[in-house]
């Protein structure tokens, strides 16, 4: 499996993502520039975190118009894998590749801290087969991470098993006290109906090393590999 990591102007986590995939996991990885339309044979595309185009207008609203996104959307339509993390998640919702939107945190402040993720779907490439008896500690770093969708769309997400993770306590309790940004139903990540497009707000790539004291993100990346082989 060949991975491609897109770099947009204002991206801050693209090199981190390449490091995790290429250096830590030993996977074939290629950097993709936003002005290109060639995915260079990459089979799994990652839209990384950061502040594409300075977050002008709405986060991800300009990035969705980049030439590379035409190729990314066609790739997804053919069944190819795409995952957006933080700003990448925002881009996917702006491009209409995922339901809902990401708006200002409920407290109107940038939040940077570790959160606990409770896996929800048991049939996603990122959650299938993992330990559902525990939560996964992953950092967030965003000012506009509050997931929102209308009530009917939330029902569809539930009905189609599209919710990947919810913010929770260490004990796995999903409630308001464990919600860092005001997201509807504590939703931290979703997938499309086909399960090949994933959006996750927390930074999995920042939880991949013993040096950082946390490898829960690495566990989730490795689980993806297990499920797509």
Q: How far apart are CA 65 and CA 33, in angstroms?
A: 13
Instruction: Establish whether 203 is a catalytic residue.
Output: yes
180 Cβ neighbours under 8 A, 6+ residues apart: 105, 111, 113, 115, 140, 145, 167
Q: How far apart are CA 4 and CA 171, in angstroms?
A: 35
Q: How far apart are CA 95 and CA 18, in angstroms?
A: 23
Q: One of 13, 86, 94, 99 is an active-site residue; which one?
A: 86
Instruction: Establish whether 75 is a catalytic residue.
Output: no
Q: One of 34, 75, 142, 203 is an active-site residue; which one?
A: 203
Phi, psi of 45 (to 5 degrees): -100, 135
Instruction: Establish whether 13 is a catalytic residue.
Output: no
**Catalytic residue positions?**
86, 203, 205
């Amino acid at each position: 499996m060949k991975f491609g990591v897109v770099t947009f102007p204002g991206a801050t986590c693209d090199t981190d993502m390449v490091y995790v995939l290429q250096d830590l996991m030993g996977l074939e990885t290629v950097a993709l520039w936003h002005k290109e339309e060639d995915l260079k044979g990459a089979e799994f595309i990652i839209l990384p975190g950061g502040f594409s185009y300075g977050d002008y207008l709405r986060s991800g609203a300009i990035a969705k118009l980049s030439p590379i996104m035409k190729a990314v959307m066609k790739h997804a339509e053919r069944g190819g894998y795409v995952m957006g993390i933080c700003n990448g998640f925002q881009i996917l919702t702006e491009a209409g590749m995922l339901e809902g939107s990401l708006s200002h945190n409920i407290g109107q402040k940038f939040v940077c801290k570790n959160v606990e993720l409770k896996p929800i779907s048991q049939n996603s490439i990122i959650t299938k087969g993992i330990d559902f008896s525990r939560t996964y500690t992953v950092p967030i770093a965003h000012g506009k991470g509050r997931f929102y969708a209308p009530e009917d769309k939330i029902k569809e997400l539930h009905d189609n098993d599209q919710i990947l993770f919810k913010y929770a306590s260490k004990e796995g309790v999903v409630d308001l006290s464990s919600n860092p940004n005001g997201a509807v139903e504590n939703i931290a990540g979703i997938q499309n109906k086909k399960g090949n497009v994933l959006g996750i707000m927390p930074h999995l790539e920042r939880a991949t090393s013993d040096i950082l004291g946390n490898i829960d993100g690495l566990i989730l990346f490795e689980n993806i590999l297990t499920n797509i082989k």
